Structure 1
């Protein structure tokens, strides 16, 4: 299958040429993982920026104000990304120079991740979001060249940038009980942000006093983050959309037709039942 103009396939997965060139993706596999690394893994548009800010605030909980002027991409780099606004230097080059513990984000499926992630066993926070809302949000993010109808069909087939939503989620769901994995749901984070900040901090062995917990919860609220240009930066492609937009669950209900909803149900529901994963706002 030929990739659309401006895109390429790497090991059967579609990627955007400008941001994810083949040499960068190949280098990711050989990346040296440290045992004290912390990975944030998600499928795109599943609360990645939001959770990265929470992780960064927890990491710097002794001096939260010190990170105010540091862009989030510098604090929690995306390992597979080549940033065109930084002279196209791969983010993994930045990671190689960072002190421990490094906080690292990724959207890659299991077979494209660093090989050492499975032997060094760093801590991994995985965030999963209702696929119906992911479909809408990812379409609006414009990391594709298609009309709505074309995009919808390709999303269900897993033929979008970063590949299959289900393949991404399935691996980490199956490993959700591993000691080094914390699997959380986007919708649950919205419902109880403070509780999830505490849960993540405890998982990272960074217990927070009540005052710090409250401040991190405040700073990582959607309304505060949306006004923070170092967290809610513009995407370096498409229409330059801000990464944080609505932050509401169940957006699909006002966007999908009955036929489109039935198509998603047919594509995902049986497989979700097989692995026993359920999402809020799915029906």
Structure 2
């Protein structure tokens, strides 16, 4: 990956690994990723994009790692070592809007084109890390066989205290109310948006141009209504119904 020269003028090319689109530098080191050796006390946070295994080797235990990989592409050692995994899923309409704006500002991903074009691209699953539908369903199916805590972005927004408590129990930490309140404060969207460690503003403009769209844009539930036309919404619902017919997984598209 170090040998890949990227000046930010052009966008990174993409290729496919196991039928899933990935940026070329990821494809080039796929064998290293696949053979990554997890440790039993690793905690993995998995999400579809917008819901680095490299430096992980140097981290002391317990390590917290992050991935966007679908379950079938997860390095086998994570499941073999019975690692705890937290998966966060977000409703596909808001996810689509967020991913669209992320691709607009991030030269490390393909140019999304205009909203109408991207709508079709996303529905077809022709985006990096693959189809949203397959991603959320794959992890949902795996949660009963492995140590996976499956959380929903919408629940985290609506009742963060309850969800963080659930997360703490899963990783085996007792949180008193004072600590819980501190976590709630520091993980609130408005605070994280101002934090350079979370908002990616330290990354060069050639790679992530925050003037096109900030990395942390809105973080709301239901923003899709500002982007979807009536026709697109009907088409999306029809497509969603077909693709999600084989799962018990359900999502909230807005707060009532």
Please, what TM-score do these two structures have when normalized by structure 1? Answer: 0.77
Residues 1:36 and 2:8 aligned together? no
**Distance in 1 (alpha carbons) for counterparts of 2:194 and 2:12:** 34
Instruction: Tell whether the 8 Å contact from 2:38 to 2:78 is kept in structure 1 after alignment.
Output: yes
**What displacement does 1:197 show?**
1.3
**Distance in 1 (alpha carbons) for counterparts of 2:133 and 2:183:** 31
* Unmatched segments (≥5 aa) in structure 1: 47-77, 80-91
Two-structure CA RMSD over aligned residues (Å): 2.0
Residues 1:25 and 2:27 aligned together? no
Residue 128 of structure 2: which of 161, 186, 194 is its match?
A: 161
**Distance in 1 (alpha carbons) for counterparts of 2:12 and 2:45:** 30
Instruction: Tell whether the 8 Å contact from 2:12 to 2:23 is kept in structure 1 after alignment.
Output: no
Instruction: Tell whether the 8 Å contact from 1:131 to 1:165 is kept in structure 2 after alignment.
Output: yes
Q: 1:147 is matched with which residue?
A: 114
Matches within 5 A, 1:155-234: 155-178=122-145, 180-234=147-201
**Distance in 2 (alpha carbons) for counterparts of 1:138 and 1:102:** 27
Q: 1:10 is matched with which residue?
A: 17
**What displacement does 1:9 show?**
2.1
Moved over 4 A (4+): none
**Distance in 1 (alpha carbons) for counterparts of 2:166 and 2:97:** 28
Matches within 5 A, 1:1-283: 6-17=13-24, 20-46=25-51, 78-79=52-53, 92=54, 94-142=55-103, 143-145=109-111, 146-178=113-145, 180-234=147-201, 237-240=207-210, 241-281=213-253
* Unmatched segments (≥5 aa) in structure 2: 1-10, 104-108
Please, what TM-score do these two structures have when normalized by structure 2? Answer: 0.85
